[in-house]
């Protein structure tokens, strides 16, 4: 969406489960600061969503959440899901992934998932990769198709003619679905370095042969973009050995799910990965990581990715690029000053470990300073 004339935005807040509410609380502080220092108003529509929503409302994606999301200009979603034991108390179809996340993606057709794999120079020590490999940091934009493929295909279980149990799930895409996400990939490549890595598995999968055919067609509209083809398995190796070769990567749903977690791995933590899930009408923003039930309630979770989601939302949904940049700059400055959350500690950097709320305090202090400058 484009910035609106009244500078008033409705945001659905789906705090989610486990560490969700703790990190969401820090992210929401950013919105408070912005309305104080800028001519903008945010109306927050809080709604139940995820595993706890199932226990309190009987559904992982209750009507109250649908109403809030339908009314919202953008959606901010925390991680969902509980421990394995707690999840077992929920019918499979209502477990948070199948019952909440996938239906949310389908409802708003959020076909383009932007997952920045980013480490500034001052955060480079968080990466488990050697300095000579990552040099001045990592800056990759992974674009994942988010509403098609195996995750949304037909599923079937049964007993075959030999009396054996079998399972079948279908990987299906139509040409429009492939084209629309490839266009996003090309557009982003054009905005960045003019190079697009197309990740596929066309040596085996018919779906990748199809994907690549559509890519060749879309490429005709982007003759200025250089396309580099890479098989998904080779891409996994390359991400570790030489991440600097990538700028924008585009791929189908499951490849993107797997490689984006590997992206978190080369950063040093999935806690450093916000993401934007963009559809034709609206986008929702979520950390790429899970709800970490083992550390919930301890005030130690890293709120970077949740705050980063706000930064992405400001830029991508509300056209507030300067303010988005200020949020990133504030977070960077906290790391630059040597602070980090527990998930990021590394022996050689002797970080000053801070809690969730302390990290939030440091970011807000710096952000307020930056916003006051103008």
Residues annotated catalytic, as ranges: 151, 201, 233, 257, 261
Binds ligand IPM (CB under 6 A): choice among 97, 169, 325, 358: 97
CB-closest chain residue to Mn ion: 257
Q: x/- site string to ligand IPM, residues 100 to 129, per CB under 6 A?
A: -x----------------------------
What whole-number distance in Å separates Cα of residue 152 and Cα of residue 169? 9
- Which residues, other chains included, contact 15 with Cβ-Cβ below 8 Å and sequence gap of 6+? 21, 24, 25, 46, 49, 78
CB of 279 to ligand IPM, least distance (A): 15
Q: Does 94 bind ligand IPM (CB under 6 A)?
A: no
What whole-number distance in Å separates Cα of residue 50 and Cα of residue 286? 13
Of the pair 73, 257, the CB lying nearest Mn ion is at 257
Q: x/- site string to Mn ion, residues 235 to 264, per CB under 5 A?
A: ----------------------x-------
Of the pair 262, 299, the CB lying nearest ligand IPM is at 262
Of the pair 288, 340, the CB lying nearest ligand IPM is at 288
Element containing residue 370 per DSSP (H, E): helix 356-373
Distance of CA 208 to the CA centre of its chain: 23
Binds ligand IPM (CB under 6 A): choice among 288, 317, 333, 341: 288
Cβ(37)–Cβ(372) below 8 Å: yes
Cα-based distances in Å from 81 to 86, 268, 332: 9, 22, 29
CB of 264 to ligand IPM, least distance (A): 10
Of the pair 17, 366, the CB lying nearest ligand IPM is at 17
Binds ligand IPM (CB under 6 A): choice among 17, 22, 257, 323: 257
Q: Which string of b and e fits 90-124 if b means at least 16 CB within 10 Å?
A: beeebbbbebbbbebbeebbbbbbbbbbbbbebbb
What whole-number distance in Å separates Cα of residue 327 and Cα of residue 44? 19
Q: x/- site string to Mn ion, residues 285 to 324, per CB under 5 A?
A: ----------------------------------------
Tokens coding 273:
């990965």
DSSP lists the bridge partners of residue 142 as 115, 249
Of the pair 257, 315, the CB lying nearest Mn ion is at 257
- Which residues, other chains included, contact 365 with Cβ-Cβ below 8 Å and sequence gap of 6+? none
What whole-number distance in Å separates Cα of residue 343 and Cα of residue 346? 9
Cβ(237)–Cβ(245) below 8 Å: no
Tokens coding 368:
């307020």
Please tell me the count of residues contacting ligand IPM according to CB under 6 A: 4
Of the pair 33, 301, the CB lying nearest ligand IPM is at 301
Q: Cβ atoms within 10 A of the Cβ of 133, count?
A: 14
CB-closest chain residue to ligand IPM: 97
- Coil, strand or helix at 198: strand
Please tell me the total number of residues recorded for the chain in this structure. Answer: 374
CB of 274 to ligand IPM, least distance (A): 12
Of the pair 22, 257, the CB lying nearest ligand IPM is at 257
Q: x/- site string to ligand IPM, residues 311 to 350, per CB under 6 A?
A: ----------------------------------------
Give the footprint of ligand IPM on this chain (CB under 6 A).
97, 101, 257, 288
List residues near Mn ion by CB under 5 A. 257
């Amino acid at each position: 969406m484009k910035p609106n004339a009244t500078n008033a935005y409705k945001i659905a807040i789906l705090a989610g489960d486990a560490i969700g509410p703790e990190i969401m609380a820090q992210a929401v502080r950013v919105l408070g600061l912005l309305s104080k220092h800028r001519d903008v108003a945010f109306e927050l529509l809080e709604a139940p969503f995820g595993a706890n929503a199932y226990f309190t409302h009987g559904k992982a994606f209750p009507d109250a959440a649908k109403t809030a999301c339908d009314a919202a200009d953008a959606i901010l979603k925390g991680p969902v899901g509980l421990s394995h034991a707690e999840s077992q108390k929920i019918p499979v179809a209502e477990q948070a992934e199948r019952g909440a996340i996938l239906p949310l993606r389908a409802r708003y057709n959020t076909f383009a998932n932007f997952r920045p794999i980013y480490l500034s120079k001052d955060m480079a020590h968080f990466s488990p990769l050697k300095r000579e490999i990552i040099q001045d940091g990592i800056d990759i934009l992974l674009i994942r198709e988010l509403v098609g493929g195996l995750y949304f295909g037909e599923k079937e279980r049964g007993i075959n003619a030999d009396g054996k149990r079998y399972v079948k799930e279908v990987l299906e895409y139509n040409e429009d679905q492939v084209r629309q996400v490839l266009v996003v990939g090309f557009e982003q490549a054009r905005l960045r370095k003019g190079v697009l890595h197309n990740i596929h598995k066309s040596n085996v999968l018919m779906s990748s042969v199809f994907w690549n055919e559509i890519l060749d067609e879309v490429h005709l509209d982007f003759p200025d973009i250089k396309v580099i083809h890479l098989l998904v398995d080779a891409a996994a190796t390359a991400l570790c050995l030489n991440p600097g070769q990538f700028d924008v990567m585009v791929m189908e749903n499951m490849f993107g799910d797997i490689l984006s977690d590997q992206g978190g791995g080369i950063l040093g933590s999935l806690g450093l990965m916000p993401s934007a899930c963009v559809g034709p009408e609206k986008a929702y923003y979520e950390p790429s990581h899970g709800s970490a039930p083992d550390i919930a309630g301890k005030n130690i979770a890293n709120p970077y990715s949740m705050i980063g989601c706000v930064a992405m939302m400001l830029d991508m949904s509300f056209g507030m690029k300067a303010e988005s940049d200020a949020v990133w700059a504030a977070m960077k400055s906290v790391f630059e000053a040597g602070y980090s959350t527990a998930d990021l500690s590394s022996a050689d950097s002797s970080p000053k470990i801070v809690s969730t709320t302390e990290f939030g305090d440091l970011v807000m202090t710096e952000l307020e300073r930056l916003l006051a400058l103008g």
